């Protein structure tokens, strides 16, 4: 995916019979869908922008009605599309909060400057997020806590960590 876009959801199926789609939000702020007039859709090589008629919420899902999508069959064709916004539509986050897409790819070093590996994913949990780091011999899972993260340097593409003793052996 182009780095100038941020995924905020994925269409899982149609909803009802009027062309609505059910979206699993991948943003911590699903209400942000209410502020959008249009959104980008991407699946494989297919990329398009659709105008949003309305947004509503049902259980844990976001329900979106797109302009020109008026039937179950049209809505079903949108299944598995990722919903993207441009970087300029990103919310500014509070200090010490980061978009996962900005963190993935950082090179991870211990505080003594030993190279640990590349940050390949952030696993969000109900508690503390987990950094998944791919080292040369194994993958490491580090809690993303203030105690363990020494520095995040986007200019040098570097993350410096100080893991608690024993955690790298797990």
Residue 146 has pLDDT above 50, yes or no: yes
Contact (CB, 8 A) for 26 and 9: yes
Pairing type for strands 130-134 and 46-58 reads unpaired
End-to-end CA distance of the chain: 32
Going by pLDDT thresholds of 50, 70 and 90, the confidence category of residue 3 is low
31 pLDDT tier (thresholds 50, 70, 90) = confident
| For residue 133, pLDDT beyond 60 | yes
Q: What pLDDT shows up at residue 122?
A: 86
H or E stretch covering 103: helix 100-103
Distance between CA atoms of residues 135 and 39, nearest Å: 36
pLDDT of residue 1: 46
pTM comes to: 0.62
In the chain, what are the domains? Answer: 5-89 (2.40.30.60), 100-164 (2.30.30.240)
DSSP 167: G
Mean pLDDT of all residues belonging to the chain: 89
Q: What is the pLDDT of residue 94?
A: 67
Q: Is the per-residue pLDDT at 159 higher than 80?
A: yes
Q: Which residue has the higher pLDDT, 63 or 129?
A: 63
> Which residue, 30, 92, 94, 102, is CA-closest to 61?
30
């Amino acid at each position: 995916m182009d780095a100038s876009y941020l995924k905020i959801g994925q269409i899982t199926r149609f909803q009802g019979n009027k062309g609505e789609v059910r979206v699993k939000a991948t943003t911590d702020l699903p209400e942000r869908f209410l502020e959008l007039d249009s959104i980008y859709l991407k699946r494989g090589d297919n990329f398009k922008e659709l105008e949003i008629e309305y947004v509503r919420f049902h259980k844990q899902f976001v329900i979106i009605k797109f302009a020109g999508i008026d039937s179950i069959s049209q809505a079903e064709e949108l299944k598995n599309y990722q919903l993207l916004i441009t970087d300029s539509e990103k919310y500014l986050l509070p200090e010490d909060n980061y978009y996962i897409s900005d963190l993935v790819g950082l090179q991870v070093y211990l505080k003594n400057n030993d190279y640990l590996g590349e940050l390949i994913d952030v696993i969000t949990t109900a508690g503390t997020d987990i950094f998944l780091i791919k080292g040369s011999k194994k993958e490491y899972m580090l809690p993303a806590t203030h105690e363990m993260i020494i520095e995040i340097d986007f200019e040098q593409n570097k993350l410096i960590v100080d893991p608690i003793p024993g955690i790298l052996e797990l």
